[in-house]
Amino acid sequence: MNKIAVYCGSSAGASDAYGEGARALGRELARRGITLVYGGANVGLMGDVANAVLEAGGRVVGVLPDFLKNREIAHPALSELIIVHSMHERKAKMAELADGFIVLPGGAGTLDEFFEIFTWLQLGLHHKPCGLLNINRYYDPLAALLDHMAKERFMQEKYRSAVLIDEDPKELLNRFLTYEPPGVKTYDVKERA
């Protein structure tokens, strides 16, 4: 695994635990020689994870839409900054570059990125691991919702199990190394009378 895309908030969140968790992930990525691919900003958890990788001597590739260059404050010290024209291009470029995906706490944009890449996994458009770094138990409600979706049979159990969730960045990355893709989505078609 050479490159991991990290999706996360451009805000710091209500607890210092979020920034600490983002920095711990950044240090672990650098220690393992894994390049960080992320949204390119120097604010919030995005800045925390990028700065931690850079401070530990790692490589960071940012992907930033041109209209957000000033609003999200483009990071000035990245190994590489790729400017794209839209959010769609940003997500597609990050997916293309990455060997796996880790989601840190964030808001609607972060969830949009997670659900798109998770949907692509179900559709067989990629076979890469997707994980939630559950800092401060932030993703407990989402994990419960995914469990509910599987229980109510709106999601196949193999896809629920494909979402790797851990509170420890080292353990989450270890689980990426043994990840087995769930296979392409099948459909339960019932005949109607």
Query: What is the reported pLDDT for 176?
Result: 97
Mean pLDDT along residues 31-59: 97
| Axis-axis angle for helices 16-31, 169-177 (nearest 10) | 40
Q: Which of 96, 92, 40 is nearest to 66 (CA)?
A: 40
Map tokens 């407990």 to a residue.
Answer: 140
Contact partners, residue 61, CB within 8 Å, separation at least 6: 3, 35, 36, 37, 38, 78, 79, 80, 81, 82, 97
pTM of the model: 0.94
Q: Tell me: the pLDDT tens digits for 88-98? A: 999 999 999 99
Matching CATH number, 3-177, of 3.40.50.9100, 3.40.50.450, 2.40.50.140, 3.50.50.60: 3.40.50.450
Opening angle at CA 161, ends 159 and 167, nearest 5: 125
Q: What's the mean pLDDT when you consider all of the chain?
A: 94
Structure tokens at 91: 């997500």
Helices (H), the chain: 16-31, 44-55, 87-97, 108-122, 140-151, 157-162, 169-177
pLDDT at 151 over 80: yes
Q: Tell me: the pLDDT tens digits for 114-137? A: 999 999 999 999 999 999 999 999
